[in-house]
Amino acid sequence: MPHVASPTSNLYRIEARSDGVALLLAGDWGAALHVPTVQSLTAQLLEARRDADMPVLVDGSELASAHPRVAAVVYGVNAQLREQACDVRYQSLPQSVDALVTLARPADSDQNARERSHWLNRLGKRGGRRVASVAHTAELIGNAFAATPKLAVGKAQARWVDFMALIRETGAASLPVVTVVNLLIGAVLGFVGAVQLAAFGAGLYLADLVGIAVAREMAAIMTAFIMAGRIGATFAAHLATMEANEEIDALRMIGVSPFEFLVLPRLTAMTLMMPLLFIYAATLGIGGGMLVADVVLNTSPASFLGRLQDAVAMRHFVIGFIKAVCFGILIALASCYLGMRAGRNAAEVGRAATRTVVVSIIGIIVIDAIFALCTNALGV
């Protein structure tokens, strides 16, 4: 058998075989003072190949120990030989060395895979993902309709302790930021309106502007934005963490419905608290406008409230109330859906929270636009 041996080391030898070139690793690489370099081994292997199509076999059957040096050299030789379009195979490598080499070997990039696939295949896969997303969303909504009556009669797999904690989190704990934002929004609307209306001597109509704008639009929308950023992101991050820790799988294994135990209490808490927060926010917004009217236009609170009672009909508050309910359902479903379908790593927790805020804000604007079209068509 032809034999090509390295004159400088007894840690390896290179054999030219009929089916290729073999790199036989031997001895104890951990105890050796000097080990062969990747460049020298690669050069000798390429020189020993009689044919460009000959594969290279890395054989570790004669190794005395599985030292990390072996894995480093084998990985380096593999990388340089593959740059030369050489087929590299392994035989009898120690399990730890083979595992390290496999772990360090870069996988084919997704970009190259996408470039090799036909555009119709990519379009089909993307369409399939969209259809699956729609199906999962429909399943979530269907579960909400099916499980809500069970919660109402106390038969759902949910703990009232958790539900009351969610009520406090979505309700009382959100009051400070809702107070500040809506009070300032009402004041800003009042100031902008006062400057424009005072130029025409119509400062009394500031109550119309502030009342209708706050009741129909601003109170519900601003409160929904706050809840999307504060509560929606929290829900998504919590559920994504549970998904990463396989806690949701554990619930399924013990026969507990993740929807009833995790999603339904959050959905119910948001649906109940959003209308109450809307009423509170609308009161603060109108109060902010009334304060500006008193300071800028010298309109007394009694005159402002009298004009407000004549100008703002109850239907404006009803429209805002219904919007708040829809916004609460949207935020709860979006946060739970994205949280429970997040990947099982730490990075996906942050992505789930970010996606929840983005999806919720876009959904809020879309729902508000639909309400605007419908109310305009109905004349209300």
Residue 124: which pLDDT band, with cuts at 50, 70 and 90? confident
* Residues 338-356: tens digit of each pLDDT: 998 888 888 889 899 999 9
Q: Residue 236 region, left (φ>0) first, then alpha (ψ -120 to 50), else beta?
A: alpha
The token duo for 32 is 């050796």
| C-beta of residue 326 within 8 angstroms of C-beta of residue 363 | no
| C-beta of residue 285 within 8 angstroms of C-beta of residue 214 | yes
**CA–CA separation, 282 and 182 (whole Å):** 8
CATH number of 12-106: 3.30.750.24
* Residues 166-176: tens digit of each pLDDT: 999 999 999 99
* Residues 39-88: tens digit of each pLDDT: 888 888 888 777 777 788 888 888 887 777 888 888 888 888 878 778 78
Domain ranges of the chain: 12-106, 156-378
**CA–CA separation, 222 and 228 (whole Å):** 10
Mean pLDDT of 18-43: 81
Residue 368: which pLDDT band, with cuts at 50, 70 and 90? very high
* Residues 322-334: tens digit of each pLDDT: 999 999 999 999 9
